[in-house]
Amino acid sequence: MFGRVSTLALVATSLLSHLVWADTPINPGFPYGSQTVRGVNLGGWLVLEPWITPSLFDNTGNPNIVDEWTFGQLQDRNTALNTLTQHWNTWITESDLAAIAAAGLNHVRIPIGYWAFEVGPGEPYITGQLPYLQKAVTWAGNHGLKVIVDLHGAPGSQNGFDNSGHRVSFPGWHSNSTNVQRTDNIIKRIASMFSTNPNVVSIIAPLNEPAGFDGSEVLSVVRQYWYDSYGNIRFPFGTSQESNTVVLLHDAFQPLSYWSGFQTPPNWQGVAMDTHIYQMFSQDEVSRTNQQHIDAACANAGDLSSFDLWVIVGEWTPAPTDCAKYLNGRGVGARYDGTFSGSTKVGSCTGKSGNRNSFSSDYKTFLRQYWEAQVITYEKGQGWIQWTWKAENADDWTYQAGLAGGWIPQDPTSLKYPNICG
Ligand SMILES: *[C@@H]1O[C@H](CO)[C@@H](O)[C@H](O)[C@H]1NC(C)=O
């Protein structure tokens, strides 16, 4: 709490001068507000996710290795480093960025964990990711793509998900001011690395998916952290000079209306809101019919088009089920087929995820319709970033497989079902 008070005081001092007058309008590296964001996440690369690369976890032979924390903790560290280095070198290469640009996309969002920047005492993470982030920024620039650098894991874990690096039953980021201060310092470093290159790194997202669902205490820490991040990202030069880097806040799983009026122009410039839209992480959602999935996607149009900041749907997928192996965590089953504890079976997972050769033509038609319904809807806001570019064996989720399998068009503006939302 002491840390928070002093942070508040610092922010008040550094922001007062430009709260009196409106901030200078930003000149971002991409014309947000007039051109549509279309992109993919480079998931499972610099932050491991068991469902994206199940082989990396299965190959350890240890069922207790369920996230990147335990990946470093519960096996020989040289083995872990060798496996990760091989993965970093091969999972995403420049040819992926070329293929993403050739598919008519203009953005990539790159998740990275705090441990790429700093590993604290007792934290078993293997480090070495940062040069790959820098390479990816160079490659993106070579192919005319904009980059969103996304801090996906914070010390203590901001949500307890395996994709925060550390799967824990209750997240420990917000309740520990040392963790928050460490995260502020990492955002300062990210901002100073990239603020001179806003034409490629047009956006920094200071924290993915903080657990706002855990209550108002989390939300108040998140709000303060967003104020600090604004200062860190928009004023990275240690002077009153502003960067042209956009700050992308996450909605912390709150309805957009919760954030109404938060960091809006003219006093705040260059702030955008990230919202993630999935329809498989509850029994109700996996139970929806195809038409209900499409209707639910289309129903987001009003909120996205009326919000007072630029809104980017920074994660979403054409996958309608939670059938992808390890999607709910390594060793955890799926709600769709009833193998998730407490769930009720909706249907068989066969032919729903995995390799697209198992997909029926009806299923592929639905994937195309559902993809288009989402694209049409999310373009009522500023646009979209699909989760994710590639996965070892979850073709329903990936942009790469969708292009190859024909349910994602080679040109994302050429729609077969332009009236699917009515
Ligand atoms: C807070 O987190 C830091 C690591 O960032 C840790 O060293 C410290 O023990 C934690 N404090 C509490 C009270 O858990």
pLDDT of residue 5: 34
Average pLDDT over residues 247-259: 98
In Å, what is the CA distance from 56 to each residue of 67, 126, 283? 10, 14, 29
For 76-183, where are the E strands, in sequence order?
107-113, 146-153
For 364, other C-beta atoms within 10 Å of its C-beta total 16
373 in a domain, yes or no? no
pLDDT of residue 352: 98
pLDDT of residue 255: 98
Q: Which residue among 175, 178, 221 has the greatest number of ligand 1 atoms within 8 angstroms of its CB, and so is best to mutate?
A: 178
pLDDT of residue 24: 85
Nearest CA to ligand 1 atom 8: 178
Is any ligand 1 atom within 6 A of the Cβ of residue 244? no
Give 175 Cα–ligand 1 centroid separation in angstroms.
9
Give 11 Cα–ligand 1 centroid separation in angstroms.
23
* Rg of the chain taking only CA atoms, in angstroms: 21
Q: Is residue 12 pLDDT above 80, yes or no?
A: no
18 in a domain, yes or no? yes
313 in a domain, yes or no? no
pLDDT of residue 15: 52
153 in a domain, yes or no? yes
Specify the ligand 1 atom closest to the Cα of 123.
4
Q: Is residue 248 pLDDT above 50, yes or no?
A: yes
Is any ligand 1 atom within 6 A of the Cβ of residue 179? yes
Phi, psi of 247 (to 5 degrees): -100, 125
Give 236 Cα–ligand 1 centroid separation in angstroms.
27
Query: d(Cα 228, Cα 187) in Å, to the nearest integer?
Result: 9
Give 121 Cα–ligand 1 centroid separation in angstroms.
10
- At 13, the pLDDT band (50, 70, 90 cuts) reads very low
| Tokens linked to 123 | 């934290």
| Number of domains, the chain | 1
What are the pLDDT digits (tens) for 29-41? 999 999 999 999 9
Residue 182: which domain range? 4-276
Nearest CA to ligand 1 atom 11: 176
Give 361 Cα–ligand 1 centroid separation in angstroms.
52
Residues 6 or more apart whose CB falls under 8 angstroms from that of 114 comprise 151, 153, 154, 155, 165, 182, 183, 186
CATH number at residue 121: 3.20.20.80
What are the pLDDT digits (tens) for 101-123? 999 999 999 999 999 999 999 99
Give 119 Cα–ligand 1 centroid separation in angstroms.
13
pLDDT of residue 17: 44
pLDDT of residue 9: 38
Percent of the chain with pLDDT over 70: 95
Is any ligand 1 atom within 6 A of the Cβ of residue 155? yes
Residue in 149, 383, 372 with CA at minimum distance from that of residue 273: 383
Q: State how beta strands 201-205 and 310-316 pair.
A: unpaired
pLDDT of residue 18: 46
Query: d(Cα 30, Cα 36) in Å, to the nearest integer?
Result: 9
Q: What average pLDDT is seen over the chain?
A: 95
Q: Is 169 left (phi over 0), alpha (psi -120 to 50) or beta?
A: alpha
Nearest CA to ligand 1 atom 6: 178
What are the pLDDT digits (tens) for 284-329? 999 999 999 999 999 999 999 999 999 999 999 999 999 999 999 9
Q: Is residue 19 pLDDT above 80, yes or no?
A: no
Specify the ligand 1 atom closest to the Cα of 155.
5
Residues 6 or more apart whose CB falls under 8 angstroms from that of 168 comprise 157, 160
pLDDT of residue 224: 98
20 in a domain, yes or no? yes
253 in a domain, yes or no? yes
356 in a domain, yes or no? no
Q: Is residue 383 pLDDT above 60, yes or no?
A: yes
What are the pLDDT digits (tens) for 192-242? 999 999 999 999 999 999 999 999 999 999 999 999 999 999 999 999 999
pLDDT of residue 333: 98
- At 23, the pLDDT band (50, 70, 90 cuts) reads confident
pLDDT of residue 147: 99
Distance of CA 23 to the CA centre of its chain: 28
Q: Which residue among 114, 123, 157, 176 has the greatest number of ligand 1 atoms within 8 angstroms of its CB, and so is best to mutate?
A: 176
- At 49, the pLDDT band (50, 70, 90 cuts) reads very high
Is any ligand 1 atom within 6 A of the Cβ of residue 182? yes
| Active-site residue set | 209, 315
Fill in the DSSP letter of residue 245: P
Is any ligand 1 atom within 6 A of the Cβ of residue 120? yes
Q: Output the CA torsion sign for 49, 50, 54, 59.
A: positive
Average pLDDT over residues 12-35: 73
Residue type, 95: S
| Helix, strand or coil, per DSSP, at residue 233 | helix
What are the pLDDT digits (tens) for 325-374? 999 999 999 999 999 999 999 999 999 999 999 999 999 999 999 999 99
Average pLDDT over residues 138-156: 99
309 in a domain, yes or no? no
